[in-house]
Amino acid sequence: MTQAIRIHAAAPDKPAWGAACNGCGVCCLAEPCPVGMVISGRRRGACRALRWHAATSRYRCGLMSVPVLRPIVARWIAAGRGCDSDAAVA
């Protein structure tokens, strides 16, 4: 199945599987993670928690900006574990 996602033109290219996250946003624009499903109320399509940061030209999980949620959200979204999106970008 082919899926088109809308991605900011200034977003970095998607890193290789397992490489460090660079904030490309492809994973969260394609589908929400389990916590994103709860926040977004959907299983497909862009996560509503995803935020574009113009100053750094990167996407970030909006839930990571809530200090009290940051530790648990970081664990839930596997922050710092490397790219786990197998989405092919054309």
Whether the model pTM is above 0.75: yes
6: in domain? no
- At residue 1 the predicted structure's pLDDT band, cuts being 50, 70 and 90, is low
- Average pLDDT over the chain, rounded to whole? 90
Full DSSP string of the chain: --------TTSPPPPPTTSPP-S--HHHHH---HHHHHHHT-SSS--TTEEEETTTTEEEEGGGGSTTTHHHHHHHTTTTS---------
Q: Which domain holds residue 47?
A: 11-83
Q: Give the pLDDT band (50/70/90) at residue 88.
A: confident
Average pLDDT over residues 74-87: 87
Q: Are 36 and 9 within 8 A, CB to CB?
A: no
CA dihedral sign of residues 18, 20, 22, 28: positive
**Does residue 1 form part of some domain?**
no
pLDDT digits (tens, 9 = 90+) for 16-58: 999 999 999 999 999 998 888 998 898 888 999 999 999 999 9
Overall domain count for the chain? 1
